[in-house]
Each structure stands twice: as C-alpha cells, then as structure tokens.
Chain A
Amino acid sequence: MKGIENKSYGPQLSQEEINLLSSQVTLLKSDTILYEEVYKLTEAQLEVMFKKLHELLTNANSPQTKKVILDISRTDKPDAKTRELLKFLWKPLLPYVEHIFIITGRNAIANVAARFVASSLGFSNFSIHRTREEAK
C-alpha cells in the first residue's frame, strides 16, 4: 500500500484510499490512540478518519476514556470553514477522550489553529507539543 501523499483526498475516495486514510488512526495501547492527520484536510478524508476514531474511542471492550495523540505537524492550515467542521466532528467524541496531545512540530500556525479549535469546544484537557517524544 502506498503512503499518504501530499494531496487532497476526495470528494470521491477509492477503497484503497479509504483503507489508507483509516490506517492513519491506530490504537497504540489499550488506552491510547494515534491520529496522524494528512497534509490537506478535506471533508471526505475527515469523514473517514473520524469514523475510525469514533470506532476506536467507543469500543466497548476497552477503557472508557482514552488518550489521543493528534499529530498535525505535516498538515496545512485549515481554513475557517474546515475549523468549523473540526469542531462539529470533535464535539460528540469528547466524552470518550481523557486527554488530547496535539503534536504541531515547529508549525506556529498549526499550534495556534489547534488552540482555536480546542478552546472553542470548551475542552481543556489538551496540551500542545512539538514532538511525540515531548508528549510522552
């Protein structure tokens, strides 16, 4: 399977692309999920990845709440409309989330955009880090 490319996925996705996007959301440990965001956010791509995130978060056979490592270090700045969509997608998942570790790399815009989205959700259990190692 090819890796994630620096392109916009969608609006129509092939089964191969759906599988590839789903594989960016993985269970690291029984209580920790890694969500590796793609380069360019699209509605279709977010729908696929949030579906997988929802599945992992709401799995009845694992702990009630989980930590999410959200790596957005390679992601382009989402526009205002996409930030609205992100709030809409995150909101129903928050009861299942213990803490979100947001990895932004050295990207100041991603750092601030993440704060904008998280703060407007009224969700305070998040922290922003440059690297995954720093988040551990």
Chain B
Amino acid sequence: MTCEEVLNYIIEINEGRCSISEDLISQKEDEEHQKILAGLMLLHEDLEHKKEQALITEKMRAAKALVITYNHEIRNSISVAKSLCHKLHKRGFDESSPEEILKIDGSIERTLEVLKKIEKLMEGDDIDFEDYYNGAEIFNIHGE
C-alpha cells in the first residue's frame, strides 16, 4: 500500500466520505494492509458518530432554549388571564362562582400544569429526537 493511497483515503475521510468497506479489506492479502484500511474505516466511523452526537447536542440545546422561551411567554399570558379571572369575580373562587369563570380558571390551571411538566422534562436528559413527518422531528421522551 503506497503513501499516496493512504493520503487519498485520509482526504476522503476529511471530507466525510470513506470508500473502504469490509469487503475491500477482506480482499487484501497483506495483513498490515488490512489493518491500515480497517483503522482508516473505523476512524471515519468514529468521526461521523462524533459529528452526529455533536449535531444532536446542538439541536437539543437550541430546542430546549426555544421551549423554555415560549414556556416563559405562555406563562406570562396565562398569569394575566388568571389575574383577570379573579378580578371578574370579586368574591374569589368558590362553589357559587359563575360556571364560565370556574371553567376558565380550570383551563388555566391545567395549562399551568402542562407548562410545569414541560419545564421538568427540559431539565432531564431522557429526551431525544424522533422523525415525525416530512422531515420534521418531535421530541421523544423516554419512559413517557
């Protein structure tokens, strides 16, 4: 195996490609030659794996920041709605409150619960991405 051949494989790997296969390796008779090719092939695989992992980490970081930002915005709006709900019914909330106001308050409480759950999930590491539709991805929450 010449230095030129090895350099060509290294250039390929640097560009994120690798034409070395297990079949190609097994066709070589010289064991040293096989080991060099195997090493280059595994190096390519490891580099690609690390690139994928780095991409997932970056996507996760961006997605978490987005979710936390929107969570904050939604929470602000919900807090205003909750406060207005209280004002609409001066006596506060009890069995005698108009049904509509109780329903609005119940919906607000449920939304707050959902927001709390999302915040808790964003703190954990048991989340990754899953293909959804047409190139879009959704969060895949392990154990949920």
Please determine whether A108 and B48 come into contact, CB atoms closer than 8 angstroms. Answer: no
**Stretch of B31-39, B68-76, B88-96 with 4 or more beta carbons under 8 angstroms from chain A:** B31-39
> Least Cβ distance of B124 to chain A in Å?
19
Please determine whether A109 and B25 come into contact, CB atoms closer than 8 angstroms. Answer: yes
**What residues of B have a CB within 8 angstroms of the CB of A113 in the complex?**
38, 42
Q: A77-B22, A109-B22, A109-B25 are in contact. Are A83 and B35 (CB under 8 A)?
A: no
A116 to B42, CA, bound (A): 8
Q: List which B14-35 residues lie within 8 A (CB) of chain A.
A: 22, 25, 31, 34-35
B58 within 8 A of A: no
Q: List which B71-114 residues lie within 8 A (CB) of chain A.
A: none
> Least Cβ distance of B19 to chain A in Å?
16
**What residues of A have a CB within 8 angstroms of the CB of B31 in the complex?**
106, 108
A108 to B37, CA, bound (A): 9
Please determine whether A111 and B38 come into contact, CB atoms closer than 8 angstroms. Answer: yes
Q: Per a CB cutoff under 8 Å, which of A83, A106, A108 touches B46?
A: A83
A116 to B50, CA, bound (A): 14
Instruction: Classify chain A's interface size.
Output: 10 to 19
A79 within 8 A of B: yes
B61 within 8 A of A: no
Q: A108-B25, A108-B31, A109-B22 are in contact. Are A80 and B49 (CB under 8 A)?
A: yes
Please determine whether A112 and B48 come into contact, CB atoms closer than 8 angstroms. Answer: no
Please determine whether A80 and B38 come into contact, CB atoms closer than 8 angstroms. Answer: no
Please determine whether B46 and A116 come into contact, CB atoms closer than 8 angstroms. Answer: yes
Q: Which residues of A contact B (CB under 8 A)?
A: 77, 79-81, 83-84, 106, 108-109, 111-113, 116
Given A109-B42, A111-B38, 14 other A-B residues pairs in contact with their CB atoms under 8 A: A79-B49, A80-B45, A80-B46, A80-B49, A83-B46, A84-B49, A106-B31, A108-B31, A109-B34, A111-B35, A112-B38, A113-B42, A116-B42, A116-B46
